[in-house]
């Protein structure tokens, strides 16, 4: 396999991107982090900024780019429903134009390019758990469509650049991931519940809380992405997620217990098209990559809670 040294991470200042940059530096890569700081922060990459092998480029992925690298991880795109629905037209543009721009770059440089797709391509799935050969059940004009259809179109572009131009693609379909370096105001369920629990305010369950998700700790997700990139000729989509499924009610109770919180639960309307169930079938990742999650939910949540505790403490100190 081609030896890759200089790696571009688009969306490198975001939650997953900042962890990926850190892990790539650890194994001796030069890392170029590209971001426009829409949802990512300089704080996420502050610890890396003195590393001579780390470089940051402020750039909007909707614009063409030119940078000499040996591999590309393409993550740039807001991932939280709150943020991707704030400017839905921009979300579709980021997904489609962003994919075209990184694929053109990968084609010119003849380097592998990994796309972080999502379990959202399965929509509100009628097949459970979800295997990669399930085509999904997506509302193409609902409020989630900017993200779901944007990601589906990006997958189409990745496959077509592979078939038409032999670009060496990888497609990771990531399921809900949590961990340190999520934004306090990210709006996704794990960060919301932890911040609410730590502040002893009610945990906001949308709908009746019976909907399910399967949560993967960030270190496991990043290992999956790196193994996928390292696997030659793996051009089919691969689910990366933790198959242990929980309802939102269960997650709320687990987080209340883990934080020792006095929070109660408050119920709010379920957002339109909110998927009822999500659970990855990870047989392909196990067989092709020899990958499966190793961090259990309680351990991952403890690390995440410790991170948010520190963040909230810092904010309180600053505001005093």
DSSP helix/strand/coil, 30: strand
Q: How many helices (H) and strands (E) does the chain have?
A: 10, 13
Using CB under 6 A as the binding rule, whether residue 282 contacts ligand NAD is answered as no
Looking at beta carbons only, is 238 or 261 nearer to ligand NAD? 238
Distances (CA, A) of 315 to 72, 159, 187, 232, 233: 35, 45, 18, 45, 47
* Tokens standing for residue 58: 């402020």
Of the candidate residues 7, 9, 14, 291, the single one contacting ligand NAD (CB under 6 A): 14
Quick one: what does residue 248 bind among ligand UDP, ligand NAD, none, with the CB cut-off 5 to 8 Å set by partner type?
Answer: ligand UDP
Per CB under 6 A, which of residues 209..228 are in contact with ligand UDP? 211, 213
Quick one: what does residue 271 bind among ligand NAD, ligand UDP, none, with the CB cut-off 5 to 8 Å set by partner type?
Answer: ligand UDP
Looking at beta carbons only, is 113 or 261 nearer to ligand NAD? 113
Using CB under 6 A as the binding rule, whether residue 177 contacts ligand UDP is answered as no
Using CB under 6 A as the binding rule, whether residue 217 contacts ligand NAD is answered as no
Of the candidate residues 5, 37, 200, 298, the single one contacting ligand NAD (CB under 6 A): 37
Q: In residues, how long is the chain?
A: 320
Residue 211 Ramachandran class (φ > 0 left, ψ -120 to 50 alpha, else beta)? beta
Of the candidate residues 35, 124, 155, 281, the single one contacting ligand NAD (CB under 6 A): 35
User: What dihedral angle (degrees, nearest 10) is formed by the CA atoms of 122, 181, 154, 53?
Assistant: -150
Of the candidate residues 22, 92, 101, 116, the single one contacting ligand NAD (CB under 6 A): 116
Using CB under 6 A as the binding rule, whether residue 85 contacts ligand UDP is answered as no
Q: Give CA 190 to chain center in angstroms.
A: 13
Using CB under 6 A as the binding rule, whether residue 271 contacts ligand UDP is answered as yes
- Cβ proximity of 62 and 48 under 8 Å: no
- Cβ proximity of 123 and 148 under 8 Å: yes
Of the candidate residues 76, 77, 146, 189, the single one contacting ligand UDP (CB under 6 A): 189
Per CB under 6 A, which of residues 86..115 are in contact with ligand NAD? 94
Question: What are the DSSP calls for 151-208, one per residue?
Answer: HHHHHHHHHHHHHHH---EEEEEE--EE-TT--TT--SHHHHHHHHHHTTPPEEEETT
Q: How far is the CB of 145 from ligand UDP (least distance, A)?
A: 13
**206 tagged catalytic:** no
Active site residues: 147
């Amino acid at each position: 396999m081609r030896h890759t040294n200089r790696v571009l991470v688009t969306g490198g200042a975001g939650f997953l991107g900042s962890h990926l940059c850190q892990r790539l530096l650890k194994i001796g890569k030069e890392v170029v982090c590209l971001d426009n700081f829409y949802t990512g922060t300089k704080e996420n990459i502050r610890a890396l900024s003195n590393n001579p092998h780390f470089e940051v480029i402020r750039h909007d992925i909707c614009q063409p780019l030119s940078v000499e690298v040996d591999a590309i991880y393409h993550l740039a795109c807001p991932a939280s429903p709150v943020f991707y629905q704030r400017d839905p037209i921009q979300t579709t543009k980021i997904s489609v134009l962003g994919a075209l721009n990184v694929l053109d770059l990968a084609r010119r440089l003849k380097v592998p390019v990994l796309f972080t797709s999502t379990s959202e391509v399965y929509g509100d799935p009628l097949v459970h758990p979800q295997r990669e050969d399930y085509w999904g059940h997506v509302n193409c004009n609902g409020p989630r469509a900017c993200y779901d259809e944007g990601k589906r179109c990006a997958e189409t572009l990745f496959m077509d650049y592979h078939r038409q131009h032999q670009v060496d693609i990888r497609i990771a379909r990531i399921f809900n991931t949590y961990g340190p370096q999520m934004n306090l105001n990210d709006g996704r369920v794990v960060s919301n519940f932890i911040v609410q629990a730590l502040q002893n305010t009610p945990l906001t369950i949308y709908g009746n809380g019976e909907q399910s998700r399967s949560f993967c700790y960030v270190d496991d997700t990043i290992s999956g992405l790196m193994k996928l990139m390292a696997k030659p000729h793996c051009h089919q989509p691969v689910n990366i997620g933790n198959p242990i499924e929980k309802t939102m009610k269960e997650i709320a109770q687990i987080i209340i217990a883990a934080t020792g919180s006095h929070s109660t639960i408050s119920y709010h309307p379920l957002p339109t098209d909110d998927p009822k169930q999500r659970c990855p079938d990870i047989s392909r990742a196990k067989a092709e990559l020899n990958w499966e999650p190793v961090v259990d939910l309680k351990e991952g949540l403890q690390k995440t809670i410790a991170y948010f505790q520190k963040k909230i403490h810092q904010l309180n100190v600053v505001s005093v």
